[in-house]
């Protein structure tokens, strides 16, 4: 079995990009056409492509208040997400968002500033607990009504930083760990999220709503979570920046789990600068998540200090010598990127590692099934949901099949529930093969080649939405090596093919987020590949 990727629910093909569902593709230079107007108006959104920094300037100057920013983004969500193109990326609005904004305005007026996120509207994924009036459901109808008693640690950090959580984003149900035939971005509670570049195409998952919302300017930044690809894939195919931190840099307390070995939350933004700002607010030691103790002395409060336009100079960047796929347009984007890296002073080193990592795919899936059962049962035991175990979730779905499972079923939930405890010999062996095996391979590759990072195409362009037969992705994917090993990973926009975005990845060794942010920033500033979505109705 090839490595299973949890950015989708189907095994990634290795035969090349020809398996990707892009029927009717034309050239990479084709212009966006037939864009969908925003609601009832063709007027441009006045906060289009704003950044945390630019919004802070407007707040400081008095041009806007936080209350006005919140109202503008809520109006934008209504116009674009619920009406107009109907992106369906926001699953729930925070009814207290305006009230919180007023309180943040009062603090600013009194001279108190909590930092760069003070008064900034953000969205977070609907598997992250908020002790407010919003539900936390992982997109599942079985979890409807679950209002957390306590903020997730990362939410606590956001609130302390003055960020205003204006709502929660839709996701692939159970973070894409329900079925092997699922359609990314679909949940029984939230429906199907769309890609804002071409509306009948996939936003990738599981952080589909966060990726789409940021790209479509429904917020300035958002929080996603990843087990394998669930931040970097939706960032890539939605034309934005995503950072999957080292497992241990950001707390998982209060986040509906899949894997204690691989899970992490991370920032999603339109610029590397904004992602760096958000990461600094998120990274902290949490006594309730002991893995974060490993980050002591390795984390940074301010990752913007790594923003250096010359950061690529002299860096050794590894590139897999075997082509990721055979699509000439995508390969041309990679070649152009490599040439730009060289122009910026980087040294490109050909390496051979991906097949070795891919060999651990079955072991990774074993690990995640065991850990999902263990982690979810622990979460549900103290949650305010009606279901108290994974078995309860399975039974609910079976009893409400027409609503909960109209397109694909729950074989991954069922196979996970059949696993024994974490003391089972099979789990221990699989963990050694997947986690330790991946780390061992990558450690050797980095050391032997004296690499600063490994680079490649993050993900091929979005496949079509297909809720009946599920996702169909091609051979371009660089999600699993960093995910299975717990290493950090950043993706930045790298251009457009078939009117759809493609990202470029850099991943490194543990706790090198700062260095990766520097590389991503240097490439971003030299390339300027971010292109706003045009809400094209269909591929044809």
- Three-state SS string over 244-257 comes to ECCCCCCCCCCECC
Give the tens place of pLDDT for each residue, 53-103.
Answer: 999 999 999 999 999 999 999 999 999 999 999 999 999 999 999 999 999
Strands (E), 185-276: 186-187, 191-192, 221-226, 241-244, 264-269
Q: Which of 206, 210, 438, 485 is catalytic?
A: 206
Are 225 and 208 contacting, i.e. CB atoms less than 8 angstroms apart?
no
Q: Is 210 part of the annotated catalytic residue set?
A: no
Instruction: Indicate if the pLDDT at residue 36 is higher than 80.
Output: no
Residue 84 CB coordination number (10 Å): 17
Q: Per the residue annotation, which of 28, 66, 89, 125 is the catalytic one?
A: 125
Say yes or no to pLDDT of 3 above 70: no
- Residue 37's pLDDT is 44
* Closest by Cα among 17, 457, 51 to 236: 457
Q: Position of tokens 């706003």?
A: 532
Please tell me the chain's helix, strand, coil percentages from 3-state DSSP, rounded to the nearest 5: 40, 15, 50
Is pLDDT of 5 > 60?
A: no
Q: Give me the pLDDT at residue 474, please.
A: 82
Quote the CA–CA distance of 199 and 464 in Å, as a whole number: 9
Q: Is 434 a catalytic residue?
A: no
In the chain, where the domains are located: 17-30+41-527
Of the listed 5, 230, 251, 480, which one is catalytic?
230
pLDDT at 43: 60
Q: Give the C-alpha distances (Å, rounded to integers) separating 324 from 375, 410, 443.
A: 34, 31, 21
Predicted model pTM: 0.94
- State how far the Cα of 220 lies from the Cα of 49, in Å rounded to an integer: 8
Q: Is 125 one of the catalytic residues?
A: yes
pLDDT at 24 over 50: no
Residues with Cβ within 8 Å of 33's Cβ and at least 6 positions away in sequence, in order, are 534, 536
The model's pLDDT over 414-427, given as tens digits with 9 standing for 90+, comes to 999 999 999 999 99
Detail the DSSP E strand segments found in 189-231: 191-192, 221-226
CB pairs under 8 A, 24+ apart, for 156-159?
157/281, 157/282, 157/284, 158/117, 158/122, 158/124, 158/223, 158/281, 158/282
Residue-level pLDDT at 540: 80
Alpha-carbon distance 141 to 128, whole Å? 16
**What pLDDT is recorded for position 475?**
82
Supply the pLDDT for residue 25: 29
What pLDDT, in 10s, does the model give residues 102-160?
999 999 999 999 999 999 999 999 999 999 999 999 999 999 999 999 999 999 999 99
Strand pairing category for 347-351 and 316-320: parallel
Rounded to an integer, the average pLDDT of 504-509 is 98
Task: Determine the pLDDT at residue 26.
Answer: 29
C-alpha angle 165/517/287, rounded to 5°?
55
> Which of 150, 148, 127 has the alpha carbon at shortest distance from 139?
127
Which of 1-5, 255-259, 302-306, 385-389 bottoms out in mean pLDDT, i.e. has the lowest?
1-5
Mean pLDDT of the chain: 93
Backbone angles phi, psi at 280, to 5 degrees: -60, -35
User: Beta-carbon neighbour count of residue 233 at 10 Å?
Assistant: 38
Q: Which CATH superfamily includes the segment(s) 17-30+41-527?
A: Amidase signature (AS) domain (3.90.1300.10)
Give the residue-averaged pLDDT of 430-449.
97
d(CA 154, CA 279): 10
């Amino acid at each position: 079995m090839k490595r299973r990727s949890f950015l989708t629910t189907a095994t990634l093909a290795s035969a090349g990009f020809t398996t990707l569902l892009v029927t009717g593709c034309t050239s990479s230079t084709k212009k966006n056409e037939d864009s969908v107007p925003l609601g009832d108006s063709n007027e441009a959104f006045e906060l289009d492509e704003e950044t945390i920094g630019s919004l802070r300037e407007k707040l400081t100057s008095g041009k806007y208040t936080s209350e006005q920013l919140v109202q503008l983004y809520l109006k934008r969500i209504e116009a674009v997400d619920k009406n107009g193109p109907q992106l369906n990326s926001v699953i729930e609005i925070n009814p207290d968002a305006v009230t919180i904004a007023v309180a943040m305005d009062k603090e600013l007026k009194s001279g108190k500033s909590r930092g760069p996120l003070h008064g900034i509207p953000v969205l977070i994924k609907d598997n992250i607990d908020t002790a407010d009036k919003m539900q936390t459901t992982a997109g599942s109808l079985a979890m409807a009504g679950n209002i957390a008693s306590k903020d997730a640690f990362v939410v606590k950090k956001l609130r302390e930083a003055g960020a205003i959580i204006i709502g929660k984003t839709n996701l692939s149900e159970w973070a894409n760990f329900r079925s092997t035939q699922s359609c990314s971005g679909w949940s029984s509670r939230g429906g199907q999220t769309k890609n804002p570049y071409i509306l009948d195409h996939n936003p990738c998952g599981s952080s589909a709503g966060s990726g789409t919302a940021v790209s479509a300017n429904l917020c300035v930044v958002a929080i996603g979570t990843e087990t394998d690809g669930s931040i970097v894939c939706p960032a890539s195919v939605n034309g934005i920046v995503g950072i999957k931190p080292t497992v241990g840099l950001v707390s998982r307390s209060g986040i509906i789990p899949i894997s204690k070995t691989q899970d992490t939350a991370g920032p999603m933004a339109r610029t590397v600068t904004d992602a760096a700002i958000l990461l600094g607010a998120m990274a902290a030691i949490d006594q309730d998540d002991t893995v974060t103790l490993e980050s002591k002395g390795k984390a940074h409060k301010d990752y913007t200090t790594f923003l250096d336009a010359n950061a690529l100079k002299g860096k050794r960047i590894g590139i897999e010598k075997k082509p990721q796929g055979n699509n000439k347009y995508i390969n041309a984007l990679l070649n152009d990127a490599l040439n730009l890296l060289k122009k910026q002073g980087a040294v490109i080193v050909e390496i051979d590692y991906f097949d070795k990592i891919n060999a651990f795919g079955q072991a990774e899936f074993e690990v995640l099934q065991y850990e999902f059962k263990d982690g979810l049962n622990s979460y549900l035991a103290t949650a305010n949901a009606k279901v108290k175990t994974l078995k309860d979730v399975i039974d609910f779905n079976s009893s409400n099949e027409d609503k909960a499972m109209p397109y694909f079923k729950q074989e991954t939930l069922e196979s996970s529930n059949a696993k024994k405890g974490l003391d089972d010999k099979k789990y221990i062996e699989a963990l050694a093969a997947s986690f330790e095996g991946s780390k061992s391979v990558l450690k050797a590759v980095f050391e032997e080649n004296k690499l600063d990072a490994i680079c490649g195409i993050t993900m091929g362009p979005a496949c079509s939405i297909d809720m009946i037969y599920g996702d169909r992705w091609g051979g371009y994917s660089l999600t699993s090596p960093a995910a299975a090993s717990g290493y950090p990973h950043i993706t930045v926009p790298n251009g457009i093919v078939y009117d759809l975005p493609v990202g470029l990845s850099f991943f490194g060794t543990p706790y090198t987020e700062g260095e990766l942010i520097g590389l991503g920033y240097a490439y971003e500033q030299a390339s300027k590949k971010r292109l706003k979505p045009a809400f094209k109705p269909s591929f044809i």
